[in-house]
Structure 1
Amino acid sequence: MAELKALIFDWDGTLSDSVPRIVQAMHAAADLIGLPRCTDRAVMDIVGLGLPEAIAVLYPDITQALADTLRSAYSGCYIQLEETPSPLFPGVIDALEAFKGTGVKLAVATGKSRRGLQRVLAAHDLEGFFDSTRCADETASKPDPLMLRLILSEVGVEPAQAMMLGDSEFDLRMALAAAVRPVAVSYGAQPREHLLRWKPERCIDDFEEFHGWVMPQLRGQPVTEA
């Protein structure tokens, strides 16, 4: 197996416990403009897509004008809910700092907008922390692999030397399409049984587990099964 030189993270549901607010904001936006609410599960299943793509999945029959209105309403509702930013999952900061200390490249590949990502990075004092970040409004939405290819080009790492950690099938499909090692987390938007259909290298139940599993690989030690 190639030396691991880059760790790429999804944001919502992987680093940040923000999925409940995404669901809440989508429901509030639908109420605001008079659309029927989707189920919680339906909204959770689109986490990871860019917002236009997510709305197209949730409301495939609405006009483009109404989709644009929903998009604006959702953004406003989410920003209001995020006046106090969603917390990072336990162990995330300690793990990221430990990873950075090994010299591995760290990146974020997210369905958030650039403005949204910059807002949460600033709120968590992580501006400038990552070596590369890409957002859905500046490249193709997941599961298109373009986002990962741009990150890998920027940090100078080959696909086989990179790992993508995410909580949705879109993260895993993107990683597979880019020939990047896919790793799933079961604590975010989509359940373990759904994620396992995409055959991730491993499915992680909490971030501290990921920390313990990946650190030996960053030190050049062989991977061992739990």
Structure 2
Amino acid sequence: MPDYQLLIFDWDGTLVDSIGRIVESMHRAADACELRRCSDAQVKGIIGLGLPEAIVSLYPELVDPLLIERFRLRYSEHYLMLEAEPSALFAGVAESLEVFRAMGYRLAVATGKTRHGLQRVLEGRGWSDYFDVTRCADETASKPDPLMLQEILAHCGVSPRRALMVGDSSFDLLMARRAGIDSVAVGYGAQSLTALSAHEPTLAIDCFTELRAWLERRVDMQRIGVSAHVG
């Protein structure tokens, strides 16, 4: 049973309830650029990727760099307008993160957001220095490349078997597998647990507090095991 030291979280759809805003912003960008609207399911299927990779995945026919940049700008403008009132944390996230810190876990974020976008929301919540390290898609390789996680591990000096990646997309879980890290599949975000099960997560949850309960049970079991061994 690995003794986890580092918990790594995706942001959108894992900690923050922002999926609906991402989908709407993609639709509005398509309208502004006179492109077909993708279905909600198609948009949810690319959440987790960096924005440039997401646009190319949804619209492989786009080859004009100027049109791609126009799409990116329209998406960003609409998303920022919606985020004038920041997306809410999912139920139990704030309290659970505090518990994790008190339990001695190191906390990190691995996200498809840009550095500017993540910094804006962290500052808005007073969390600028809350996490031990954060990595964003525009400063490293986009998910599911494992580089983002490898950089987090190196920064924290933690081995892959001592880390746990928590995410709501196949990109999160595939990235974790490629980095040799255990994963937790979140079923309340972009993708269903049925879709995520193909990536063989260590744990699958329907609400964030299930992760807290699971980790607390593990710690209790380890303590019992140590006590029994000493006795």
What's the TM-score bracket when you normalise by the shorter of the two chains? Answer: over 0.9
Stretches of structure 1 lacking an aligned partner (at least 5 in a row): none
Q: What residue number does 2:114 align with? A: 113
Structure 1 SS opposite 2:86: coil
Query: Deviation above 4 Å: which 4+ runs of structure 1?
Result: none
Query: Which moved further from structure 2: 117-126 or 49-58?
Result: 117-126
Q: What residue number does 1:26 align with? A: 26
| Structure 1 or 2: more helix by fraction | 2
Structure 2 SS opposite 1:221: helix
Residues 121-175 of structure 1 deviation map (CA, whole Å, 9 limit, x = unaligned): 1122211000010000000000000000000110110000000000000000000
Residues 176-223 of structure 1 deviation map (CA, whole Å, 9 limit, x = unaligned): 00001111000000011100011111111000111111123356628x
Query: Are 1:134 and 2:138 an aligned pair?
Result: no
Structure 2 SS opposite 1:137: helix
TM-score by length of 1: 0.95
Query: Are 1:69 and 2:67 an aligned pair?
Result: no
Distance in 1, Cα, partners of 2:141 & 2:117:
17
Q: What residue number does 2:55 align with? A: 55
Q: What residue number does 1:211 align with? A: 212
Q: What residue number does 2:145 align with? A: 144
Query: Are 1:37 and 2:37 an aligned pair?
Result: yes
Q: What residue number does 2:173 align with? A: 172
TM-score by length of 2: 0.93
Per the alignment, do residues 219 and 118 of structure 1 end up closer, same or farther by CA in structure 2, a change over 3 Å counting?
farther
- The CA deviation at 1:2 is 2.5
Q: Aligned residue pairs: how many?
A: 222
State the AA in 1 paired with 2:143: K
> Between Structure 1 and Structure 2, whose CA radius of gyration is higher?
2
Distance in 1, Cα, partners of 2:2 & 2:23:
38
Structure 1 SS opposite 2:17: coil
Query: Which moved further from structure 2: 168-177 or 213-222?
Result: 213-222
Per the alignment, do residues 77 and 94 of structure 1 end up closer, same or farther by CA in structure 2, a change over 3 Å counting?
same
Root-mean-square deviation (Å): 1.2
